Amino acid sequence: MEIIEGDITTLAVDAIVNAANSALAGGGGVDGAIHRAAGPELALASRALAPCKTGNAVITPGFRLRARYVIHTVGPVWRGGGNNEEALLRSAYERSFALAIKQGDVSSIAFPAISTGIYGFPKTRAAEIAIGVMREHESQLERIIACVFDAETEALYRTALS
């Protein structure tokens, strides 16, 4: 398991995970960055698989990205914590791993900090959940990268890892 601070769209891995919305049509944050870098083919491919329920995931080619695949998962919007948000966030990570493994030719994968931007999930708890699920899959893939985009999230991930 590695923690890398930077832009997930630049990573040379087999699959990157997108923090998508259920319409799978692109959006803001990491979703927008991935769609811009992959090109318009990505929205055509992902929209055809919509809608995607919260906590679920779908897979498409990576088109112009260095990554061969994009796994689009829908994390929960934080609504105070009483709406199953923790289980849904865990499910988003787990379903993404399941798709990557089922694909058969994915040995490296990178995840953004799902739900911690526009969706407002508390960052400390999200880091614990993300690191926890990544650890559970360590033996199944060669390389698992937590791609963080700011120093605060990086520190939370390092604490959760230790």
Catalytic residue positions? 31
At 34, which helix (H) or strand (E)?
helix 29-38
Q: How far is the CB of 57 from ligand ADP (least distance, A)?
A: 13
The answer to the question of residue 93 lying near ligand ADP (CB under 6 A) is no
**Distance of alpha carbon 106 from alpha carbon 15, whole angstroms:** 7
The region of 52-60, 61-69, 129-137, 148-156 touching ligand ADP under the rule CB under 6 A is 148-156
The answer to whether residues 32 and 149 touch, using CB atoms and an 8 Å cutoff, is no
The answer to the question of residue 26 lying near ligand ADP (CB under 6 A) is no
The answer to the question of residue 30 lying near ligand ADP (CB under 6 A) is yes
For ligand ADP, give the closer residue by CB, 31 or 85: 31
Question: DSSP letters along 51-88, please?
Answer: ---TT-EEEEE-TTSSSSEEEEE-PPPPSSS-SSHHHH
Q: Which of 98, 62, 93 is nearest to 76 (CA)?
A: 93
Q: Which residues, numbered 113-132, are part of the site for ligand ADP (CB under 6 A)?
A: 113-119
The correct pick among 2, 138, 150, 152 for binding ligand ADP (CB under 6 A) is 150
